[in-house]
Amino acid sequence: MKILVGVTGCIALYKVAELVSSLRKSGNELKIVMTQSAQRLVSKDLFSAVGNCEVYTDSDAFEIKNGFIPHTELSKWPDVLVIAPATANTIAKIAHGIADNLLTMICLAYSGDKKLLVPAMNYRMYENAATQSNLQVLRDRGWWVLEPSIGHLACGEFGKGRYPENEIVQEAIEILGSEKLLRGMKLLVTAGPTWESIDPVRIISNRSSGKMGYEIAKVAVRLGASVTLISGPTCLKTPHFVDEVVKVESAQQMFDAVIQRLEQMNAVIMAAAVADYTPVSASESKIKKDSQQLSISLKKTIDILKHIGEQKKDKILVGFAVETDFLEEYAKEKLVKKNLDMIVANKVQAMGSDQNDVIIFKKDGTVKRVGPDEKSRIALAILSELAELWNRS
């Protein structure tokens, strides 16, 4: 992706050096434009080195070489235009069409719709009615304005104005730069294991880490879906920009959470490893180790996917099959038995790993093998198949 980063004179620009470095490591092509105030805080050489790219400043604004007019050419170059950090002053200029430096000239000449603003400033400057109204003007003109976070500010005060985590800024850039294959889709994704309670201390669970489901949720947002993530217990960070994250423990809680939201959804991906059995009753107090052997009676949980499949109407249903043996046979059997549109078959070794290796079976008989690869790329492959079904429906 080609990303033009405009850097303005806010102390938080030292954090943007890290963003630039991370964007470069992710394989993006960068160009950076710094204002004079930004250059007072740090040399352009730092950004040039961490971004492995050209850094333009106001002295380049009128350096027309071989027909290259910097502000117009630079305004046509990027897939995504980002201003981070964006000071109140630069925000005000862009909102009012003032073009008195290279960066604001580029903003005035930019006609694309992938533009991100990351305000960072003292909280009183941020809350000032002038700044708020300028930000609203920019939102109305199609800028995505990221909310600053609340916390300690460079000036020693506390409030809303902190530069957000770079992870959030980078994810916003990814979202802006991704093709919207799932535009308009309301997608429910389940992830992780479930915990079935034996007593207040012990549970029955499985080895699912939740990584596959979380990657699916994250990539689906990038592709333009409105995502609800229903997750069993995991150690993972909640993905940014999903509409809703619902944390559950047991299979029954996951069932209730899914059913409660099902009506509004266009598609469901059940990536969760739902427990098939749960104790008939959970002990209210801790079971003591008095006997040499202990038996726990288990009863079947409700099969959420099968239940949805029986009454699915026009929803697209995607299941997973984790197997040790006869992977393809069992997966195809589940595709039919649960009335699915697509099933993703993966080996049990994928559980907990960052990689996966899958076979995707569709109801129409098509089969696709993907991997071994990072779960994020496997997620993209699964969602591209989902997009194909979505565009067909």
Active-site positions read 155
DSSP collapsed to 3 states, the chain: CEEEEEECCCCCHHHHHHHHHHHHHCCCEEEEEECHHHHHHCCHHHHHHHHCCCEECHHHCCCCECCECHHHHHHHCCCEEEEEEECHHHHHHHHCCCCCCHHHHHHHHCCCCCEEEEECCCHHHHHCHHHHHHHHHHHHCCCEECCCEEEECCCCCEEEEECCCHHHHHHHHHHHHCCCCCCCCEEEEEECECCEECCCCCEECCCCCCHHHHHHHHHHHHCCCEEEEEECCCCCCCCCCCCEEEECCCHHHHHHHHHHHHCCCCEEEECCECCCEEECCCCCCCCCCCCCCCCCCEEECCCHHHHHHHCCCCCEEEEEEEECCCHHHHHHHHHHHCCCCEEEEEEHHHCCCCEEEEEEEECCCCEEEEEEEEHHHHHHHHHHHHHHHHHHC
CA–CA separation, 288 vs 311, rounded Å? 44
Scan residues 205-264 and list those touching ligand CTP (CB under 6 A): 251
Compare residues 33 and 198 and give the one whose CB is closer to ligand CTP. Answer: 198
Q: Considering the complex, what minimum distance in angstroms separates the CB of residue 332 from ligand CTP?
A: 12
* Identity of the residue numbered 274: V
Binding segment toward ligand CTP, per CB under 6 A, in 10-18, 142-150, 280-288, 319-327? 319-327
Of residues 93 and 334, the one with the C-beta less far from ligand CTP: 334
Given the complex with ligand CTP, which of 108 and 389 has the nearer CB atom? 389
In this chain, which of 3, 319, 358, 381 binds ligand CTP, going by CB under 6 A? 319
Residues 333-352 that bind ligand CTP (CB under 6 A): 334
Name the residue nearer to ligand CTP (CB basis): 38 or 305: 305
Q: Given the complex with ligand CTP, which of 174 and 215 has the nearer CB atom?
A: 215
Q: At closest approach, how far in Å is the CB of 331 from ligand CTP? A: 8
Distance between CA atoms of residues 96 and 90, nearest Å: 10
By CB under 6 A, is residue 362 in contact with ligand CTP? no
- Name which position in 304, 317, 358, 386 contacts ligand CTP (CB under 6 A): 304
Task: Report the nearest approach of ligand CTP to the CB of residue 277 (Å).
Answer: 9
Minimum separation from the CB atom of position 194 to ligand CTP (A): 8
Residues 212, 216, 321, 381: which binds ligand CTP (CB under 6 A)?
321
Residues 264-283 that bind ligand CTP (CB under 6 A): 270, 272, 274, 276
Query: Shortest gap between Cβ of 251 and ligand CTP (angstroms)?
Result: 5
CB of residue 321 to ligand CTP, shortest distance in Å: 4
Q: How far is the CB of 354 from ligand CTP (least distance, A)?
A: 20
Q: Which of 16, 88, 182, 305 binds ligand CTP (CB under 6 A)?
A: 305
Which one among 174, 196, 303, 385 touches ligand CTP, defined by CB under 6 A? 303
* CA 19 vs CA 51, 268, 276: distances in Å: 9, 34, 44
Size of the site for ligand CTP (CB under 6 A): 14
Nearer to ligand CTP, 177 or 279 (CB): 279
Task: Note the residues at the interface with ligand CTP (CB under 6 A).
Answer: 251, 270, 272, 274, 276, 301, 303-305, 319-322, 334
